[in-house]
Amino acid sequence: MRYHVDEIEDQIIATLEADTTNFSGVTVDTLAGQISAQMFFDPELMQGAKRLLPFALVSYQGRRSEKALDRDSSGRTWIHTLTFRFFVGAKSLRKTEEAARNCYDMLAALWDDLTAKVPLTSPQQLTQYTALSGTALSAGAVLISPLYEAGSADEEVVINMPAIVIYRADFNLKIIA
């Protein structure tokens, strides 16, 4: 593997943190795992999630690979589609609708901040796109696409309870490895 997922995550987080209009006062961090409605059956997990609110958490979901036959007859070059899942959560002491609308704003900001952006590389690849913020990726990563929505059910509600709402959104990035 000629890329480092942690470096890409760091650039995504730096980009969201730089958006002080939409993510000011929001916990932006990585998440190992998932957020689901099952959390409500474990009070400790739920209390941990409540303390983070409002949040935007990024979770690497793995990769799908396809052999790049048109690029490498030896079969050693692969195109990897990396998927990053974002969880945005908000709360309202008044009503669920207000928390949901706060999530809508964060989802729109995710779209604006990440869609058609590429990780920063040195030298910069895919110069027609704006780079994410942060430190350039280590040598060896070859980008072939910017971040884009994953398609299908790439955005959906995870938890919709009185005062707490959590949505998820998926974005993909293609890299040659």
Q: What is the pLDDT of residues 18-56, one digit of tens each?
A: 999 999 999 999 987 777 666 655 666 666 666 788 999
- Rounded to the nearest integer, the mean pLDDT of the chain is 84
Structure tokens belonging to residue 55: 């949040």
* Structural domain count of the chain: 1
Place of tokens 């350039």: 136
Q: Using one digit for the tens of pLDDT, what is the confidence trace for 73-107?
A: 566 677 889 999 999 998 876 766 777 888 899 99
Q: Which amino acid is at 157?
A: V
Cβ within 8 Å of residue 8, ≥6 positions away: 82, 84, 119, 137, 173
Output b/e per residue, 134-146; b: 16+ Cβ within 10 A.
beebeeebebbeb
Place of tokens 């070059």: 77
Q: How many CB atoms lie within 10 A of CB 106?
A: 25
Provide the whole-model pTM: 0.86
167: CATH: 3.30.2000.10
Range of the domain at 96: 5-176
